[in-house]
């Protein structure tokens, strides 16, 4: 059974719309939280992060989650590895949870773009957003996936409450420029 390609459902159009102006530029540093089978990673590496001096850091535990059932995550990780193999010189895979990844980084801006599509619980999304803000360069872009996604009636199981809370609390530091199935914002302070 083929793995789902959720990136091709709508995320690819957001990426093309908001990232193509960076295509081929040198010294870009991108971070992706939640990589699944590498569909977004491959797209970024083939379309935007094409200069040899630019780099993608991918963070995922490849252990599954409460909202994804009946998928063998060893197969998902193998698909990810195959997807990025042709671009291995421009990507680093971190097999760990996002909180552990951020804890190991210096708390200074370093990324031009950060994509949050990992653990979808409100608590995890809020933590990822705050951690990402501190690692985002001035003018850098922060994108959240699955803003409209709902798995059940409990808002704590969804990204949107945390995205809304983060953007409210950081309103003087982030400029929101697209809201739909994804939310895109730029760091201004």
pLDDT tens column, 103-127: 998 777 799 999 999 999 999 999 9
pLDDT at 65: 72
Q: Is 70 a domain residue?
A: yes
Residue ranges making up the domain that contains 79 = 6-94+101-114+128-187
Confirm whether 123 is domain-assigned.
no
The answer as to whether 121 is a domain residue is: no
Residue 72 domain-assigned? yes
Nearest to 183 by CA among 32, 5, 11, 3: 11
How many structural domains compose the chain? Answer: 1
> Which CATH number characterizes residue 18's domain?
3.40.50.150
Please tell me the predicted confidence (pLDDT) of residue 62.
Answer: 94
Confirm whether 1 is domain-assigned.
no
The pTM score is: 0.96
10 assigned to some structural domain:
yes
User: Residues 59-78: what's their mean pLDDT?
Assistant: 86
pLDDT of residue 16: 98
- Cβ neighbours for 72, distance < 8 A, ≥ 6 positions apart: none
């Amino acid at each position: 059974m083929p793995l789902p390609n959720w990136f091709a459902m709508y995320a690819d159009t957001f990426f093309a719309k908001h990232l193509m102006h960076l295509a081929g530029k040198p010294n870009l540093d991108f971070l992706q939280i939640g990589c699944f089978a590498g569909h977004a990673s491959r797209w970024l590496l083939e379309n935007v992060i094409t200069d040899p001096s630019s780099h993608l850091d991918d963070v995922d535990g490849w252990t599954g989650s409460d909202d994804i059932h009946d998928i063998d995550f060893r197969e998902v990780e193998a698909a990810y590895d195959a997807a990025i193999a042709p671009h291995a010189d421009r990507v680093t895979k971190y097999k760990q949870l996002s909180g552990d990844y951020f804890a190991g980084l210096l708390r200074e801006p370093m990324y031009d773009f950060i994509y949050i599509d990992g653990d979808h619980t409100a608590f995890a999304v809020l933590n990822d957003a705050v951690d990402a803000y501190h690692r985002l360069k001035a003018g850098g872009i922060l994108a959240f996936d699955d803003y409209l996604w709902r798995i059940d009636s409990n808002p704590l199981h969804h990204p949107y409450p945390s995205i809304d809370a983060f953007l409210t609390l950081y309103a003087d530091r982030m400029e929101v420029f697209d809201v739909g199935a994804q939310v895109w914002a730029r760091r201004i302070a």
